[in-house]
Amino acid sequence: MCLSPSSTTNMRGQALMEYTIILMLAVIILVIPWGGNPPPIEQLVDAFRQFYLDYSWNMSLP
């Protein structure tokens, strides 16, 4: 089965739309606070910050 060039262009456009929707859902999930907790993205940034503080403190030891 051979697809015409316009058919493949439409398929690429459809895939782009699907990726965009999935990306928007992921961003919404990361920035909305759930259950009275801070948003997951804030928790992730805090975890990285704490990890770096612990790491740099440990590396400063003799």
DSSP string, 12-38: HHHHHHHHHHHHHHHHHHHHS--TTSP
Domain positions in the chain are 1-31, 33-62
pLDDT tens string 30-55: 999 988 999 999 999 999 999 999 99
Q: In angstroms, how far is CA 23 from the centroid of its own chain?
A: 7
DSSP conformational letter for 19: H
CB 39 within 8 A of CB 30: yes
18: tokens are 């699907």
Q: What is the pTM of this model?
A: 0.59
Distance separating alpha carbons of residues 14 and 6, to the nearest angstrom: 12
Mean pLDDT across the chain, nearest whole number?
87
Which one has a higher pLDDT value, 2 or 27?
Answer: 27
